[in-house]
Structure 1
Amino acid sequence: MTRHLFARASGALLSWAIAGGAMAAAGATDVSPPSPARSLSCLQRPEEPPKFPERGNYDRTSGFARVKLRFVAPDRPPEVQLLTNSLREDMLDVVTRHVDRYRLPCLQPTDGTVSAVQEFEFSNTQKAPLPLGPDDTTPRGRLDLCYTRPKQDMIFNVMNAGREVNNIVITMTFAGDGEQPPEVKVLHAEAVPFAVDTVVEWARLSRMSCRKAGEPPVVLQQMFRLYPPGRARKVLKVEQLDLVDFLAMTENPHAEDVRFDFDTMACPFNVNYTMYGPSLPNEVTDGEKKPDRAIFIDWLARQHLKFSSPKQARALFGEDLQIRVPCGRLDLRAKT
């Protein structure tokens, strides 16, 4: 039995689901209804969902966690096992305190141990959620991905941070079983060596616990920005832009002499744009992965924002925004 519930908490979107079952399985011919405890019908939990632990202005951090809950007594909180997690430490603490208040008062000795799985997703953003593609599963294609980041946040010695923001992009390749650390490679480092070493050491503590030996490797990419003392984080004050407004901020949108007919692309639609260039290719995602949009998406990823200086480009490296693509046509061909 699975129940899906959705709630909104303090500016952060929280989506979660509870799937209940008992460790002692019934026989294949047993068609009797489950007990109240096995169906989770008496589950007691806080009325308010967890609140996003915001850190200052423009804290748009997002994250996802899946936890397994095991109820072994009617008057005790569940035992908690972390199955998947990309939440930072303070978010995970909020989730842990939340589920610690769960009770299953109708649990009887004949029920054995009742297990449930719950998912928490924090997304403190004004951007619209992108629709899922045909080969994705909820939430956001991560249902079978059991990546677990280190429980403790990264400890960064600010005395060795240098004078500018440290931008680092890595890949983590999980190729062994669930106990094997990932192979970490640095794709981009605009940083002091100490910052790079700190990121690599921390990333190697990540795990993908559900993996079995011999399964195909899984590669994840992650970006880090580490700040020296007194250096405030710079962010884009807007999270959404219309396509024309976005192109007005780019270096040379006419360079490739292109024309696009958005009426053939299931318009209107939104895309998310992450600015990495020119050091790395910019990243553009549309969620639905429609083939009719592929050429436009590739072209949009090659458009670089026009920064006032290399310092500004470094400060905004890795920032993202959402671009609203309308219906109609975009014609950037040279006029004769």
Structure 2
Amino acid sequence: MSASTATWAQVPVIDPSITLQCLKPAKAQRDALAYPFDAWKDGKGGRVQVELLFHSPDRGPAVSVLPADADERLVDAVKFHVNTFRLPCVDRGVSQGRVILEYVFKPDDQRVAASEPRDPEVERRQALWACVRHVSGAKSPAYPPDARQALRQGSVQTRLEFRSADTPPIAQVWSATGNGPLHTGVEEWVKGYRMDCHPGGESVTQDLQFRFRLEGAPAVGFKPLTLMQLLPAVKGIRDQRLAFDFTQMDCPFDVRLTYLQPHAPNKVVQLDSFEPSRRPLVDWLQGIELNMRGTQLEAVYADDLLLSVPCAKINL
């Protein structure tokens, strides 16, 4: 078996925006804004951009009109339209969600074009990560020689907390081995990161995954599974009481699970859509531990599992 080529990758983990996933109504209804007839007859067109701030799951947003180049009648039409929007994943009094939307009024064909909604917090995190550099000037470290010689491969998960522009991040590092060469190499490497554009006065946290692969070595990682296929591999499943009705969770649906147990809760992201009714399942998946040890655990640790959930009921 040849392992002449070692590949290494650092992957910033910026999850899909929950805010955008759970924004209601559906896209077709959000985009269906009628052109005010009197403004169209007057040949008025333009661009209206608004920021929506949600404080409650069942109430309309506070609407701020960003600099606009449009007739007031068009601005009023947008404000009235977005007042029907809801963000059911917001916890009243605990969290809030921001969304930016843009509507372009085109009088030549009496059409309104709607942009895709944007989450300013996700855009902010992406911009902050884009300015992170390593003091060595290198984009990646060398594959740890001990790991390469022993044909060790796998993934390491980190959580970096940046508190200023000129100090190293406070790092948490999780791996299957805990103190193997891949873990140690990452632990030393992340000390060299700096966030040059740090805004100051706050803590900025970023998850980062490191993937180590060797050409010619056996492939590592999860294959896509259904939830029913996963259940037998869950540690202590026979001692658990489970009662899930997926028919009440807008099924079928997919989630992405990043396996981090037993060192940290698994990361679970709902794909395509977000439904608050799935919270009990997500909470359970975050806590599951699999019956794996040694090289088997190394092969899947910090890897992403695409999990398909069917329209079914479970009562164990």
User: What TM-score, normalized to structure 1?
Assistant: 0.49
Distance in 1 separating the partners of 2:215 and 2:159: 27
2:234 to 244, 250, 256: 250
Report whether the alignment pairs 1:200 with 2:182: no
Give per-residue Cα distances to partners, 1:209-260, cap 9 Å, x unaligned. Answer: 432221x212223333446897544233x33x22222224434434321211
Report whether the alignment pairs 1:269 with 2:256: no
Measured after TM superposition, the shift of residue 322 of structure 1 is: 1.4
Determine the structure 2 residue equivalent to 1:93.
none
Determine the structure 2 residue equivalent to 1:295.
280
Q: Amino acid of the residue matched to residue 219 of structure 1?
A: T
For residues 1-336 of structure 1, the aligned pairs below 5 Å read: 135=97, 138=118, 142-145=122-125, 146-148=128-130, 149-150=132-133, 152-159=139-146, 163=150, 164-165=152-153, 168-176=156-164, 178-188=165-175, 190=177, 192=179, 195-214=182-201, 216-226=202-212, 231-236=217-222, 238-239=223-224, 241-286=225-270, 290-307=275-292, 309-332=293-316
Contact 2:254 2:306 in 1 (8 A): yes
Measured after TM superposition, the shift of residue 61 of structure 1 is: 8.6
Measured after TM superposition, the shift of residue 167 of structure 1 is: 5.3
Does the C-alpha gap of structure 1 residues 60 and 268 become closer, same or farther in structure 2, counting only changes over 3 Å?
Answer: farther
Measured after TM superposition, the shift of residue 141 of structure 1 is: 5.9
Does the C-alpha gap of structure 1 residues 64 and 159 become closer, same or farther in structure 2, counting only changes over 3 Å?
Answer: closer
Does the C-alpha gap of structure 1 residues 317 and 325 become closer, same or farther in structure 2, counting only changes over 3 Å?
Answer: same
Does the C-alpha gap of structure 1 residues 319 and 157 become closer, same or farther in structure 2, counting only changes over 3 Å?
Answer: closer
Q: Amino acid of the residue matched to residue 172 of structure 1?
A: L
Give per-residue Cα distances to partners, 1:297-317, cap 9 Å, x unaligned. Answer: 11122333333x532112221
Distance in 2 separating the partners of 1:265 and 1:181: 43
Relative contact order higher in (CA < 8 Å, ≥ 6 apart): 2
Contact 2:11 2:210 in 1 (8 A): no
Measured after TM superposition, the shift of residue 264 of structure 1 is: 2.6
Q: Amino acid of the residue matched to residue 223 of structure 1?
A: Q
Measured after TM superposition, the shift of residue 147 of structure 1 is: 0.8
Measured after TM superposition, the shift of residue 274 of structure 1 is: 1.6
Does the C-alpha gap of structure 1 residues 254 and 290 become closer, same or farther in structure 2, counting only changes over 3 Å?
Answer: farther
More helix by share: 2
Distance in 2 separating the partners of 1:314 and 1:196: 11
Measured after TM superposition, the shift of residue 172 of structure 1 is: 0.9
Does the C-alpha gap of structure 1 residues 147 and 62 become closer, same or farther in structure 2, counting only changes over 3 Å?
Answer: closer
Q: CA RMSD in A?
A: 3.9
Contact 2:176 2:297 in 1 (8 A): no
Contact 1:268 1:326 in 2 (8 A): yes
Give per-residue Cα distances to partners, 1:258-289, cap 9 Å, x unaligned. Answer: 21122332333211112222343322222555
Q: Which ranges in structure 1 are unaligned for 5 or more consecutive residues? A: 1-55, 66-132
Does the C-alpha gap of structure 1 residues 140 and 243 become closer, same or farther in structure 2, counting only changes over 3 Å?
Answer: farther
Does the C-alpha gap of structure 1 residues 209 and 245 become closer, same or farther in structure 2, counting only changes over 3 Å?
Answer: same
Give per-residue Cα distances to partners, 1:5-57, cap 9 Å, x unaligned. Answer: xxxxxxxxxxxxxxxxxxxxxxxxxxxxxxxxxxxxxxxxxxxxxxxxxxx9x
The total of aligned residue pairs comes to: 204
Among the aligned pairs, what percent are the same residue? Answer: 23
